[in-house]
Structures are given as C-alpha cells and as structure tokens.
C-alpha cells in the first residue's frame, strides 16, 4: 500500500473514531475514551486497531501512528476479535436476549458499526480495498 494512501487511511479511521466516540483529552493521541461517557476507556483504541487490521495496515505503522507498543496493539486486536466472535456467536444462536444483557458488548458493536459506516462514507480515494 502506498505510504500516502496508508497515511490518509490512518487519519480517516482516526477521524471516524473521534466522530463517534468521546475521547479523553488527557490521552488524546492514544485514543483513550472518556470512560464516564463511553463505559470503558479502551473502546476507541480497540476499534481503531481492529479496523486498521481489517484494512491490512501493518502493525508497525499503526503503532508508530498512535505511539503505542506492539504488545498494546496485539492486546487490543485480541480483544476486538474476541468481542466480534462473541457477538456473532450470540447472534447466530439467536440469543438476542443475552446480547441485550451484555451492555458493554452491545455498546461496542454499536460504536463499531458507527465508525465502520463513517469510514465507508469516506471520500472515494480512501475506499480502495487492500489485501
């Protein structure tokens, strides 16, 4: 992926996260959410890492962009995958009542959908799919 496109995509994903999740001003660069409002501080970072991984952006580039260590990235990616697996497991089994009980999972999926929709509504030059 050309570095100019990668840079634009990293910024576009960050903008989408910031537009849909309230970020704590003290930890602004690392995308730490305001826990009082969002329910958990790492939801923004987890979603950002997951979406960048889905777009095939290399780990090193994401870590450099956010000024985080690779182990933090890997923990957030693991959490992203775990939550999506849990959501799809409940949805596939038709356990919507259980999903309603798990408020943090439901909030995570709702925020993920909002951010994904924002990224999808990006200008055409950023809608290129990379594998």
Of 88, 90, 17, which Cα lies nearest the Cα of 47?
17
So what's the pLDDT on residue 29?
Answer: 65
Model pTM?
Answer: 0.85
- Cβ neighbours for 43, distance < 8 A, ≥ 6 positions apart: 21, 33, 107, 108, 111
pLDDT by 10s per residue, the chain, length 131: 667 778 889 999 999 999 998 887 776 567 877 776 677 788 999 999 999 999 999 999 999 999 999 999 999 999 999 999 999 999 888 888 888 888 889 889 999 999 999 988 765 444 444 33
Give 3-state DSSP helix, strand, coil % of the chain, rounded to 5.
75, 0, 25
Q: Where are the domains of the chain?
A: 3-121
């Amino acid at each position: 992926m050309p570095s100019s496109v990668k840079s634009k995509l990293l910024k576009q994903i960050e903008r989408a996260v910031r537009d849909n999740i309230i970020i704590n001003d003290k930890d602004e660069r690392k995308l730490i959410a305001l826990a009082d409002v969002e329910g958990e501080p790492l939801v923004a970072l987890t979603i950002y890492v997951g979406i960048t991984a889905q777009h095939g952006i290399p780990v090193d580039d994401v870590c450099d962009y956010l000024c985080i260590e690779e182990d933090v990235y890997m923990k957030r990616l693991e959490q992203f995958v775990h939550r999506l697996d849990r959501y799809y497991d409940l949805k596939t089994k038709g356990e919507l009542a259980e999903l309603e009980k798990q408020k943090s999972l439901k909030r995570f999926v709702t925020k993920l959908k909002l951010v994904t929709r924002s990224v999808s509504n990006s200008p055409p030059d950023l809608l290129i799919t990379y594998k």
